[in-house]
Structure 1
Amino acid sequence: MTEPFLSRWSRRKLDTKVQPAPLPPDEARASGEAGVPAPAEPPPDLPPVETLDKDSDYSAFLKAGVPQELKQAALQKLWASDPALMAPEVMDLHMGDYTSPVAEVVKTAWRLGKGVLDAAELAAEAEEKAASEPPSAPPKQDS
């Protein structure tokens, strides 16, 4: 009889797991894996986050080896230091107000149930609209 699919999958999954060999005590201590984490001090060449402004160089905070908390604090300071960075992008297509009805904004030759009208049909439609509107009073002329 064949082995059920899930049992076979589970067994094969467990077979592929390889336990890493333990490091010798000297190497474990050097790499910080001996249970004591390495101190998370910022590199000495970084300025304090409190002194940063919009003209400061933030590239040093984005390099490898900088603690994530310090990197996040520097980026928060950058976004707060320049209002132009917090403002939405003017040319962003997703910033438009798409809640307004399209019929009021765009006039097309397409009509529901009729499709696209040609020039003669558009002219006839305009004449019907003009005939259905009440005539406006003629403007008064001052003499």
Structure 2
Amino acid sequence: MSDEPFLARWSRRKLDAKSEQPPPEPAAVQAPEPVPEPPPPPELPPVESLGKDSDYSAFLKAGVPQELKQAALQKLWESDPALMAPEVMDLHMGDYATPVAEVVKTAWRLGKGVLDAAELAAEEEEKAKAETPPAPPESDS
């Protein structure tokens, strides 16, 4: 190891590396290729006249200003309530604050593991017995 501090050695090596590199050769200057102009926007109907059954595909083509495209899509979403409603099968729409035990019925029991069919039937029978009121005692009069 040398007695030279780390940062001084690092700085010296960076300067040496820069001085050893040959200067970059000037690249041949090329004229930039002309960018083709986007096609003019197609003749579009006024956004106010659009409805649920209108064709919105013309608003999604290239060359349509972003503001006009957004206005047409907003009109589409407003025109059909089914499009504004949340997706029924969306997994992120559920209320995960509810207890799982009330939502999911399972054969897993704490301390017992997974119950088989006979054990589940016996448990249901016990539950039914507990829910039915006892019969009043018969009196011999």
1:96 to 71, 94, 98: 94
| C-alpha separation in 1, matches of 2:53 and 2:116 | 59
Supply the AA of the counterpart residue of 1:68: Q
Deviation of 1:106 after TM superposition, in Å, equals 2.5
Aligned residue number for residue 13 of structure 2: 2
Separation in 2, partners of 1:134, 1:71: 63
Residue 84 in structure 1 maps to residue 82 in structure 2: yes
Unaligned runs of 5+ in 2: 1-11, 19-23, 137-141
Q: CA 1:43–1:113 in structure 2 vs 1: closer, same or farther (change >3 Å)? A: same
2:59–2:68: 8 Å Cα contact kept in structure 1? yes
2:105 aligns to what SS in structure 1? coil
User: Which AA in structure 2 matches 1:49?
Assistant: V
What one-letter code is carried by the residue in structure 2 that aligns with 1:113? G
The equivalences for 1:1-143 within 5 A come to 1-3=12-14, 43=41, 45-122=43-120, 125=123, 133=130, 136-138=133-135
Shift of 1:79: 0.8
Which protein has the larger Cα radius of gyration, Structure 1 or Structure 2? 2
Number of aligned positions between the proteins? 116
RMSD: 4.2
- Structure 1: where are the runs of 5+ without partners? 9-14, 32-41
Contact 2:59 2:72 in 1 (8 A): yes
Write the deviation string for residues 5-63 of structure 1: whole angstroms up to 9, x where unpaired: xxx8xxxxxx9xx9x9787xxx7xx97xxxxxxxxxx7351111121111211111100
| TM superposition score normalised by structure 1 | 0.56
Equivalent position of 2:4 in the other structure: none
